[in-house]
Structure 1
Amino acid sequence: MLAAKTELKNAEKVKQYLLKHHLLHPEYLLVKEFGFLYFPLVKKIKIPGAEVIDARFSFPAKQKPVTVEQLLTAKLTKEELEHLPKSQEVVGTILILEIPEFLQKKEKVIAQAYLQSHKNITTVVRKDKMHQGTYRLRKVKVLAGINTKETIHLESGVKIKLDLEKTYFSARLAHERLRLAQQVKPKEEILVMFSGAGPYVLVLSKHTDAKKIVGIEINPLAHRYAVDNVVLNNCKNSTVHLGDVYKVIPTLSGKFDRIVMPLPKTGEEYLPLALTKARAGSIIHLYGFLQTTEVQQHRQKIKALALKAKHPVRILRTVECGSFSPGTSRFCFDLKVLK
């Protein structure tokens, strides 16, 4: 096999050259021997800092990742394999397993396969109960791996420490959080209602030049994580408050250029309150779980609520940002306050 032979002192430079020009053989590992490194090549070409030779030894093959399907071939029927979802939600090092009800009798076997095939996963859980209650919390059951429900999730360059049972969090909203960040202008003052463990606060702090970001969360357990996360990510322009938004918002001084309302089930009920902290030209991001056929009616409801609060709004855009259940999606209404 063709190989690039180089001294150790030139190894990194040669490696970067090979990567840049797509010359490394994808199926084999390099070899270190007698003070030299040998990089397996896909073709013969002159390489700065290395001698191209025809190696007389074998290169070790890279271990190909084992798929979930391969691990379960002997344990599930063909029909059962076909009903395995193509993707699963991963929060930090925890995979949240969602499988059809008829497969639950084999959930531990399936969980073990996911654990074995995903090297960055240390725990597999399944949802035991749906999100419920004032804090929108869910129960999960550990099926495989380390017995923990706490993790640090990496998203868009920030670290989000959380416990799956103590705070509401969806990793699938990562793109949506970046979408909001991309709209923020320098020196904006931003209010995040229902801020949870701080994902919106953290991403907005990391990816914008906002002057000030304020989060409010009623769940004391989630708030504790938010406080830690602000410190963990060195978010010097961010503060988080514990309490009911109806009680905290009146205590905040001034108004905000942007208000984020990531409470999708009853968020519109808080719109009149949010408008008291908006100035003319402010942007509000209001979320809702809706069927497609309900969107237009919900748009009219939002406008009516704003008009009644004497702060009319224009809906700039309606963005579908994820599925909630069959037939129902999460929508974000980007509103501009007119006065």
Structure 2
Amino acid sequence: MRLKEWLVGVVPEERLARLSSRFHVIGDIAILYLDPELDGYKDEIASALLDQCRNVRTVFNKITPLEGERRTSRLELLAGEGNSVTVHREFGFRYHLDVARVFFNSRLGYERMRVAVQVKAGEEALVLFAGVGPFAIPPAARGARVVALEKSLEACGWLAENARENGVAERIAVINADAFSMAALLKRRFDRAIVPAPYGMDRIVDALPEMLRRGGIIHFYTFKKAPQIEGLKKSYEDLGLEVLLCRRCGNVAPNVSRWAFDMQKI
């Protein structure tokens, strides 16, 4: 989206250079992350966004990085109605959530469907760090029986609501628990594990092979620099996993990307 282009002649050029054209749209809410040097132009920036994006009714500015166990940021209202509750639509699914209270990444829609289309009816799937359900609900819609673990009680509430909204409540078991407790809680094995791990949670992968049947599939997400990837592949092979696919799916910081790994237990 061409946010900078919309503001040419409105914000001075030297200030405009500090503005990122990227912003999140979740449902009808836009979330910016403005440089402090743009504080004097917040109204103009938010107004331009509302004028150009007819589907957006509220604009927030993220004033802290993700923090705490809920992985949320503090938000300030820049324009619009001020309600942080929204409904995000993605590939025919509807996700209700409060952007100020739970984590949601609207940029992973393609990845969620890329994984979902691999799921076969009758599979048993484990989804860790499940949030409000975007990685759990599409597999359930394809006929899998899903166990979804999420540490945030509030996110679990939204996940349960979204499972009902999307007609898959009978195929999803929502468990309010830390993902690292999965082995103690779940005395069973799965055909597939879907693990959109938060930053710094890579050690969860060590416990995944024991949660899978032989031949089971893991979809694992991690944040790494490109030179680290070959060593990472070797470490996964040492766990008894065959790397079927490795792909970059978004940059999150200078030289740091989110990487998707599809792996099979051998």
TM-score by length of structure 2 reads: 0.90
What whole-Å deviation, never above 9, does each CA across 1:264-312 have from its counterpart, x for those lacking one?
Answer: 42343112332222011000111111111111222223333x2xxxxx1
2:165 maps to which of 206, 227, 232:
232
The separation in 2 between residues aligned to 1:329 and 1:171, in whole angstroms, is 16
Q: Equivalent pairs: percent with the same residue? A: 29
SS in 2 for 1:184: coil
1:324 maps to which of 234, 252, 266:
252
Residue identity matched to 1:237:
R
Residue 153 (structure 1) shift: 0.6
Cα distance change, pair 83–251 in 1 and its aligned pair in 2 (3 A): closer
Identify the residue that residue 46 of structure 2 maps to in structure 1: 111
Cα distance change, pair 71–266 in 1 and its aligned pair in 2 (3 A): closer
Identify the residue that residue 78 of structure 2 maps to in structure 1: 143
Q: Is the 8 A contact 1:267 1:287 kept in 2?
A: no
Q: Is the 8 A contact 1:268 1:286 kept in 2?
A: no
What whole-Å deviation, never above 9, does each CA across 1:119-168 have from its counterpart, x for those lacking one?
Answer: 11111011111112233222211111111222111111111111123222
Identify the residue that residue 166 of structure 1 maps to in structure 2: 101
Larger RCO, structures 1/2 (Cα 8 Å, 6+ apart):
2
Q: Give aligned pairs, total.
A: 264
Cα distance change, pair 297–70 in 1 and its aligned pair in 2 (3 A): closer
Q: Does 1:209 align with 2:137?
A: no
Residue identity matched to 1:215:
A
Identify the residue that residue 113 of structure 2 maps to in structure 1: 178
SS in 1 for 2:218: strand
What whole-Å deviation, never above 9, does each CA across 1:41-82 have from its counterpart, x for those lacking one?
Answer: xxxxxxxxxxxxxxxxxxxxxxxxxx8667644422345456
Q: Is the 8 A contact 1:313 1:337 kept in 2?
A: yes
Identify the residue that residue 337 of structure 1 maps to in structure 2: 265
The separation in 1 between residues aligned to 2:88 and 2:58, in whole angstroms, is 13
Instruction: Please show how residues 1-339 of structure 1 align to structure 2 within 5 Å.
Output: 72-81=7-16, 84-206=19-141, 208-210=142-144, 212-235=145-168, 236-304=170-238, 306=239, 312-338=240-266
Unaligned runs of 5+ in 2: none
Unaligned runs of 5+ in 1: 1-66, 307-311
TM-score by length of structure 1 reads: 0.72
Residue identity matched to 1:293:
P
Cα distance change, pair 71–280 in 1 and its aligned pair in 2 (3 A): closer
Residue 180 (structure 1) shift: 0.4
The separation in 1 between residues aligned to 2:17 and 2:100, in whole angstroms, is 30
Residue identity matched to 1:239:
A
The separation in 2 between residues aligned to 1:68 and 1:132, in whole angstroms, is 27
Q: Once superposed, which parts of structure 1, at least 4 consecutive aligned residues long, lie more than 6 Å away?
A: none
Residue identity matched to 2:258:
R
SS in 2 for 1:131: coil
Residue identity matched to 2:184:
P
Cα distance change, pair 319–75 in 1 and its aligned pair in 2 (3 A): same
SS in 1 for 2:64: strand
Cα RMSD, aligned residues only: 2.1
Residue 319 (structure 1) shift: 1.3
